[in-house]
A and B are shown apart, each in its own frame.
Chain A
Amino acid sequence: MTQYAEGITAEIVKEHGINDAEYAVILDRLGRAPNLVELGIFSVMWSEHCSYKSSRAHLGKLPTSGAKVIQGPGENAGVIDIGDGQACIFKMESHNHPSFIEPYQGAATGVGGILRDVFTMGARPVALMNALRFGAPDHKKTRQLVSGVVAGIGGYGNCVGVPTVGGETNFHAGYNGNILVNAMAVGLAEADNIFYARGAEPGQPIVYVGSKTGRDGIHGATMASAEFDDQSEEKRPTVQVGDPFVEKKLIEACLELMATDAIAAIQDMGAAGLTSSSVEMADKGGIGIALDMDKVPQREANMTTYEMMLSESQERMLVIMKPGREDVAYEIFRKWELDVAVIGETTDTGRMVLTHKGETVCDIPVAPLADDAPKYERPYFAPEVRAQLNAKDVAQPDHMGEVLLRIMSSSDMASKAWIWKQYDRHVMADTTASSEDPSDAAIVRVHGTKKALAITTDCTPRYCFANPFEGGKQAVAEAWRNLTATGADPIAITDCLNFGNPEREEIMGQFVGCIEGMAQACATLDFPVVSGNVSLYNETNGVAIPPTPAIGGVGLIPDMAKRAHFGGMREGDILLVVGETEGALGASVYLKVIEGREDGGAPLVDLDVEKANGDFVRGQIRAGRLSACHDLSDGGLACAAADMALASDMGIKLAHEGNVPMHGYLFGEDQGRYLLAAAKEDAIAILQDAKADDIPVHVVGLAGGKAVTVNGAHPLELDRLRAAWEGWMPGLMEQLVEAAE
């Protein structure tokens, strides 16, 4: 057997990211050498992005089932049961590499892609979230990247008419060369009308709908599976360009088609476009496919099969229809002025056969593309876990109010209004709490009911870097806590696992540690993973990002009348902290902002305590006893109190006593805690319940005045706090251009 087909060289194989061992498997399965089209198809299907070859061995450790899980990982998105015959469909995905190279289009198409994953399954998208990590605020590229990414997310989501209701944004030098843009979409569907990639049978027409295919995005999946270097910006031509207007029409047209019972299987064309969508449907149906490339709607002249199969042009879907129902699709898609074409049919051969201009240009078995995709047990070593830090070994500041001011106006804690004001948060008229509201999670009503979804995105990369296992646990626990703090029942998560180069043992160790921590938290909190995405090779010139397993959590508020937020504190309310405070300053915001240090161990999460405390708080919310409720996370008690004071426009008098040093007490990031505000009689009832249930609840202060104080001293006036908190980001983004170099 010849090693290479005509025109193919060892160099070309290497450029496709296929190593010698992988190439040998291709030769074996085909019984001959692949041509360029076939090589391209293997290349994208076996890319890290599509095959999860480095991560699959560990992803199986995550719990993925539960009483409310209708569909776990493996389809376009996860599906959970929210009662009354309704389902919630959601997923989070990364668009990191494209967003660094071309921030507006990279972020915009990230939003477009994740929306398609959700409406492909029959859901109307009802909310968008995001998790963004940028480099240091003073890095020369940061402002340009922030501007472009935010405009791109807004430009797409606003136009398509799905509210962007929340998210999180961090700045850290560890992302200088690799920003993270993780977008999450949430949709609602009828539980008995969900569409899958599986279900196709031989002899069914394959219908292409949406935009025409162009040359954009060719090999995007391969790009997302390699490290960056100084020449990475030359990869701009591989970034796709989005058109949210087409996406909006595609949503309406697909939902209209889905109401007709004409679809056998459906798949969006995301990474690796026509290749992965057709292969996935064929593989899941155990069938073959035959496509006539001349029938593919094309945007440019003289496109080759290679280009069409690898294009990542946006806003396209592939539908396998029930025979004889093609007219239904034609009618609907023409009404919406979208392209529609029958481009082939399913077969019983188990092979993918492509013809172009009368010639067979590809004839390969489907099964190896999916089943024989490489799976690597990458070697790893567990990173050294940093030792815990004792607050007593950290210098005590003189004036806690001034320290609080600096922390609240730091990049981690300052208001991100500059970002979220650019997102339409209210379209669809079901948003009850979004980024602007004092809520630990976004709240979106289930249209026409008294139910609401609570949605959050969370991760603390500082902790994951200090201790991957505890950091992974904490990311899941914080998502659960944020949902709980609104009164929701947490149901399930999606994840977006962003790491460096898995071929480095230390990075693989971070990945494995985070997964194992997440798995433990998911199991204990009954909070399974139903969908997700892995983004590896987030490193530039050998420097990896901090490990960032972003978690998107979804919960259900059964009755909108029984929920909580942190803006309702009233004069004279008693402030209570649920959970124990030991003053965990390791890897804290305090240490970073005040001491300029990022050392120390991550706070430990006791999952049983987390669950007990959270269940207690949810019970108190539903009993109607709280005027405000806020989870404690970055910046500890003092920052949660500051948030509550700003949102309620009322001061807080904190009291400190006991053995924990004052800065550890105020700013320690001990886990599993909540800050509650309640009228005196309610506070007494809460304390009684806590005693009966053996839950640690402590009185920590009193609402009143116009400042945050500690033991009657250390005052920070709310007006001053508000100005600094609101002022940081405009100050960063709107400074004179010459200052940026």
Chain B
Amino acid sequence: MKSAVIVFPGSNCDRDAHDAIEKVTGHKPAMVWHQDSDLPEGTEFVMVPGGFSYGDYLRCGSMASRSAIMPAIVAHAATGAPVLGVCNGFQILTESGLLPGALMRNAGLKFVCEKAPLTVENANTQFTSRYEAGAQLLVPIAHHDGNYFADPDTLDRIEGEGQVVFRYGRNPNGSARDIAGITNEQGNVMGMMPHPERAVDMGHGGTDGLALFESLLGSA
């Protein structure tokens, strides 16, 4: 599977994303600079990594969502190809309109870093097919603005359509309906606050993120 990781100024999980993808797929992903306007030829999977793109100035993910590479990512998503945004990547995907809702400041008003218990709500996506539905995972979170918000109609709709993919077992940030990760309507764009790339080998203290990348490889 040919992958690309997008690098913005302030991205800081780009290397972690690179290593996790390489570990699972056996191929090094291309590291794509935010000022490029095209994805490398033949790219299948795009990952928008975590970090503090543009220093979180203005609003998390807002400036990155207007960068030169974004039209290419939007066009790539429109073909039905997989796009994953983790943490700041999730914020960028909501800011760019690829995913519904928004990420607000954590309810506790503090940065929170912990290993978060998650439930797999939908194992029938190309990101989660290697998990069992209802599986309990432990995946690290580390964010200041992970409080997922959408209006009640939108929440009802995404829950009804199976777009809620992960829920927190213990809500760390005030997210509406404990939502930790969602997809778009077509199911090919996913955003999540937890970091699956930080749970892919035993040195991380757990490997619950591994199946996510394996699911993608399996569906490619």
- Which residues does A use to contact B, with CB under 8 Å? 151, 154-155, 158-161, 243-246, 248-249, 336-337, 420-432, 436-437, 445, 560
Smallest CB separation, A539 vs chain B (Å): 32
B197 touches A427 (CB 8 A): no
A/B interface sample: 6 pairs, CB < 8 A = A155-B111, A159-B12, A420-B113, A421-B113, A423-B113, A437-B205
Smallest CB separation, A419 vs chain B (Å): 10
Smallest CB separation, A150 vs chain B (Å): 9
- Which residues does B use to contact A, with CB under 8 Å? 9-10, 12-13, 15-16, 19-20, 50-52, 54-57, 110-115, 140, 142, 144, 195, 197-198, 200, 203-205
**Bound CA–CA A249/B34 (angstroms):** 14
Q: Which residues of B contact A425 (CB under 8 A)?
A: 113, 142
Leading 9 A-B pairs by shortest Cβ distance = A161-B12, A245-B55, A429-B16, A424-B142, A159-B52, A422-B111, A426-B198, A426-B140, A154-B111
**Bound CA–CA A114/B25 (angstroms):** 37
A445 touches B54 (CB 8 A): no
Q: Which residues of B contact A158 (CB under 8 A)?
A: 52, 111, 113, 142, 144
Smallest CB separation, A571 vs chain B (Å): 22
A248 touches B9 (CB 8 A): yes
A428 touches B16 (CB 8 A): yes
A159 touches B16 (CB 8 A): no
B51 touches A161 (CB 8 A): yes
Q: Which residues of B contact A436 (CB under 8 A)?
A: 114-115
Closest chain B residue, CB of each to CB of A337: B9
Closest chain B residue, CB of each to CB of A430: B203
Most buried by B among A151, A158, A243, A431: A158
**Bound CA–CA A155/B145 (angstroms):** 13
Smallest CB separation, B8 vs chain A (Å): 11
Q: Which residues of B contact A437 (CB under 8 A)?
A: 205
Residue of A245, A249, A428, A430 touching B57 (CB-CB under 8 A): A245
Q: Which residues of A contact B204 (CB under 8 A)?
A: 426, 429, 431-432
Residue of A249, A427, A429, A432 touching B19 (CB-CB under 8 A): A429
**Bound CA–CA A336/B54 (angstroms):** 11
A249 touches B142 (CB 8 A): no
**Bound CA–CA A154/B112 (angstroms):** 10
Closest chain B residue, CB of each to CB of A734: B108
16 further A-B pairs in the complex, CB-CB below 8 A; given A158-B52, A423-B113, A431-B204: A158-B113, A158-B144, A159-B12, A159-B56, A243-B55, A245-B54, A421-B113, A422-B111, A422-B113, A424-B142, A426-B142, A427-B13, A427-B16, A427-B142, A428-B15, A430-B203
Q: Which residues of A contact B115 (CB under 8 A)?
A: 436
**Bound CA–CA A249/B12 (angstroms):** 10
Smallest CB separation, A545 vs chain B (Å): 28
Q: Which residues of A contact B16 (CB under 8 A)?
A: 427-429
- Given the interface contacts A159-B55, A429-B19, does A245 sit within 8 Å of B10 by beta carbon? yes
**Bound CA–CA A427/B19 (angstroms):** 13
Closest chain A residue, CB of each to CB of B57: A245
Residue of B50, B55, B198, B203 touching A244 (CB-CB under 8 A): B55
